[in-house]
Amino acid sequence: MSGGGGAGSKTPADFLKSIRGRPVVVKLNSGVDYRGILACLDGYMNIAMEQTEEYVNGQLKNKYGDAFIRGNNVLYISTSKRTMSEGA
């Protein structure tokens, strides 16, 4: 079961482990996006990010070196390609 064959056999925990250290987009319940490098997260979905950028309505509002997001504010986490800012 842990053979890592297809994407269909991955659990959400496997996905979150696999994206640590990679660029991600974190969407909050408020609609604000944070884009940066996923440093770590815990079982409550508390997230630590590096090189973080805050986007409101698709527009860059702030840049932070490090950011911590409380898990109960998170709507979803997705992987990001660094070219998103070019295409947005």
pLDDT at 88 over 90: no
pLDDT of amino acid 13? 83
What pLDDT digit, counting tens, does each position of 3-53 carry?
A: 445 555 788 888 888 999 999 999 999 999 999 999 999 988 899 999 999
CB 26 within 8 A of CB 32: no
pTM recorded for the entire structure: 0.77
Mean pLDDT, residues 56-77 taken together: 95
Mean pLDDT, residues 50-70 taken together: 96
